[in-house]
Chain A
Amino acid sequence: ELKVEQNPLFLSMQEGKNYTIYCNYSTTSDRLYWYRQDPGKSLESLFVLLSNGAVKQEGRLMASLDTKARLSTLHITAAVHDLSATYFCAVAAYDQGAQKLVFGQGTRLTINP
């Protein structure tokens, strides 16, 4: 059974600093997703990583995937308050030929002025 673990689960950081969120998964998969959730809101898709070595960047966020290590990272550069949210990684799992997502626990990120 596919397990997905994120760390840290809680992260409080100052504006302007850099930090990385890690997502480890237990079995082989060919795609990984990052989502953002603001308090009381739905999940918003950030990145889709489809192959080993894939790197995607949007503003101050950059996501990468190492399928051999079963690891994805979400790197935050020069954090700003607007990035405060909970970030989830989700890994594709295949069941009876159909794809479903297994989510990590989420990382609650708080960025302080």
Chain B
Amino acid sequence: DAGVIQSPRHEVTEMGQEVTLRCKPISGHDYLFWYRQTMMRGLELLIYFNNNVPIDDSGMPEDRFSAKMPNASFSTLKIQPSEPRDSAVYFCASRLTRARNNEQFFGPGTRLTVL
């Protein structure tokens, strides 16, 4: 299995631009999670989906952030407009409910820099 796939791996953009981060979960996994990691705030859960349905988006910082999961193999996290304080590493993770451990598997992350 290829694991969780994220793209792009690095993104540099200017303030005010729209940014779209992409995630392909492990095939067959029914949960998908978006996290943000910064030095100041650590690892924060932004939103998660179960069977493509958003369950909890209380971690999304503000209306500039939105996430979708149109099908079981693809999710996007969009920031519009982006701001310098959005600079962080964004991780996607997935898991399979039926697995005994309910373990989350993380993607390689997208390092976002907003100038």
Instruction: List the interface of chain A (C-beta within 8 A of B).
Output: 31, 33, 35, 41-45, 48, 50, 88, 90, 92, 95-96, 98-103, 105-106
Chain A residues, CB < 8 A from B43: 88, 103, 106
Contacts A42-B91, A98-B31 aside, 16 further interface pairs with beta carbons under 8 A come to A33-B103, A42-B108, A43-B91, A43-B106, A44-B106, A90-B104, A96-B55, A98-B48, A98-B56, A100-B45, A100-B56, A101-B33, A102-B45, A103-B42, A105-B42, A106-B42
Give the interface size bracket for B toward A: 20 to 34
Interface residues of B (CB under 8 A from A): 31, 33, 42-43, 45, 48, 50, 55-56, 91, 93, 100-109
Q: How many A-B residue pairs have CB under 8 A?
A: 48
- In the complex the two chains form, is B104's CB within 8 Å of A101's CB? yes
Q: Which residues of B contact A105 (CB under 8 A)?
A: 42
Known: A43-B91, A105-B42, A106-B42. A100 touches B102 (CB 8 A): no
